[in-house]
Amino acid sequence: MLERLSRRSRSLLSLTLTTLALALSILALCTSYWCEGTHKVVKPLCLSPVKMKNCGQNNSEPYTTESPTQNPFNRTLSPARREELAKIRQRQLANAVHYIWETGEDKFAFRYFHTGFWESCEKHSDGEKCRSFIELTPGETQGVLWLSVISEFTYIGLLGMGFLLMWLEVLCSHKEMHSLKINAYAAICTVLSGLLGMVAHMMYTTVFQMTVIVGPKDWRPQSWDYGWSFALAWVSFSCCMGAAVVTLNSYTKTIIELRRRQRLRLEEARAATHAPSYDEVVPGGGLYSVSGLLQCPDGMIDVAWAPNGSVVGVGNGDVPTLVLVGGCGPEGCEDCEREMDEMEDAMDRVDSPC
């Protein structure tokens, strides 16, 4: 799929993935839903007149009051009022006993909580109450938590740097060499940010699990699982690594294309500066070898090099005994040099038949 995309399309794909990774990582770090679950807490006592307003209601009959009931044995009250208060108190105690009998072991309440890097919030009847998660972590794991926070900020910073470099690459796409250098730096930033992000996520997971085991007793969860912020963090990491792969692929493919074009230009330059081989210039039976022409008694061959590099041959007859081939100099054609040496040796011999 990536092989069919143009260089600009690959750059835009890398930029899109980096933008998505940057947005998701910032959102995950700012929210507090990395882990969520329930806390098991003891319900307040319902038998005390002072604490009755903090109790829940029975399924069959309410037994709570908004304000504490007065003591029916108070002598300042009238007999009728004292009798009425005594009946109310007996009914409340009966409902409390009925409540305990009806629900059995349900003297504990399960409260929903969610936790992030910065705070842990617990849901109460009057709203959420939040505490600093750093204060909840044990002392021996706070250093790991701070290292995780620093890694998260570094991860986001490198992602932002890669985002800016990819934007610059898209703007400078018409300048191939500048775009290639920017692409290399963007690839390095995205790869490093992905590795730091993975380490930061795993360190936070370790810190949370240690806090669940040895953290404050009033905070230890009964059950917990990872939340949507944790999922966003790993989706961000996946987008980051995808952008790194696309960026490295674009860089490698551009380098290969540049080397291929340089090789083709070099071959074209060599073809322009060097003469073709003897077999290519003189095909098959159309012409005779120069050494064969030397045996001709009616011809005399004079070899000279013209200023334009062409071989000039002159015969005694009207029909030339050697075909002139242009573009072949003595320094560029080994076959021509060999034939010239053979001709000179043959002409120097005294007993030559010509």
Q: What is the DSSP code (8-state) at residue 69?
A: P
Q: Calculate mean pLDDT across residues 274-280.
A: 58
| Percentage above 90 pLDDT, the chain | 17
pLDDT of residue 2: 56
* Nearest one of 28, 10, 7 to 237, comparing CA atoms: 28
Range 2-39+131-262 classified under CATH 1.10.357.10: no
pLDDT of residue 222: 83
Burial class (CB in 10 A: 0-12, 13-18, 19+), 306: exposed
Predicted confidence band of residue 3 (pLDDT cuts 50, 70, 90): low
Predicted confidence band of residue 45 (pLDDT cuts 50, 70, 90): low
Q: Calculate mean pLDDT across residues 271-285.
A: 57
**CB proximity list for 71: less than 8 A, separation 6 or greater:** 85
pLDDT at 213 over 60: yes
Q: Calculate mean pLDDT across residues 160-182.
A: 81
Predicted confidence band of residue 102 (pLDDT cuts 50, 70, 90): very low
pLDDT of residue 234: 93
Mean pLDDT, the chain, rounded, equals 72
pLDDT one-digit tens code per residue, 13-39? 888 999 999 999 999 999 889 998 887
